[in-house]
Amino acid sequence: MAIITGAGIVVKLVLLLLLSFSVVSWAIILFKFFQVYRAKSESERFMDFFWKSKRFDAIASQTDRFANSPLSLLFNEGYSELKKVVETDGKSDTSVLSTDLGGVENVSRALRRATNSEITRLEKYLTFLATTGSTSPFIGLFGTVWGIMTAFEGIGKTGSASLAVVAPGIAEALIATAIGLVAAIPAVMAYNHFQHKIRVLINEMDSFSSEFLNIVQRTIAGK
């Protein structure tokens, strides 16, 4: 703290900026941790419920229990499109599906739209983590360079290269570098972690979409 309070105005601004990046990054890390955890947990529960249930309408009536699951949203979008197709075709029984008017293709497009929407939602704020991880070391490096400049300026003014003259500027330089790394390292690690988890969820969404369409097509073929 003594080093920070004794630093120059430029280094203080650099440290304040890095601290802001770090605080926001940790807020995003905590938010994304709970978001991704709930999405994964509820998706597993939804899949168990989906395969145990025999009717789409029964599943649709219980999707509120899995509000944080991307798969639940995909099912709602796909099922809603199915009902629209059936209503357009003049049928009231949703167990009777038709390929007329591009019914199956409409369901496929609805699932793709829902998947893209969920990917956007899950990846929200990750860009900030990537930005923090890539720019914080350079911001800290700027503070380092400025601290070295301060040290040389002190040498030039005093005409002495003693430790008492050089040490304050070097300390400023080191503290800026350290805070830059403190901000960057957790952001990079969290970004890579969440990208991996989200890729797993994306694969699950793709698999569920394929299974949903297969069920629809088998139902149609059996009519």
Tokens of 167: 């040490």
Residue of 118, 176, 171 whose CA lies nearest to 144: 176
From residue 2, alpha-carbon distances to 58, 117, 118 in Å are: 65, 49, 47
pLDDT band with cut points at 50, 70 and 90 for residue 101: very low
pLDDT band with cut points at 50, 70 and 90 for residue 99: very low
Average confidence (pLDDT) over 148-165: 70
Tokens of 184: 């960057």
pTM: 0.80
- For residue 125, the SS3 value is coil
For 34-77, how does the pLDDT look when each residue is reduced to its tens digit (9 = 90+)? 999 999 999 999 999 988 887 888 888 888 888 889 999 999 88
Q: Give Cα 24 distance to the centre of its chain.
A: 14
> Which has more pLDDT, 40 or 97?
40
User: b/e string for 66-94 if b means 16 or more Cβ within 10 A?
Assistant: bebbbbbbbbbbbbebbeebbeeeeeeeb
Q: DSSP code of 223?
A: -
**Number of CB atoms found within 10 A of residue 162's CB:** 10
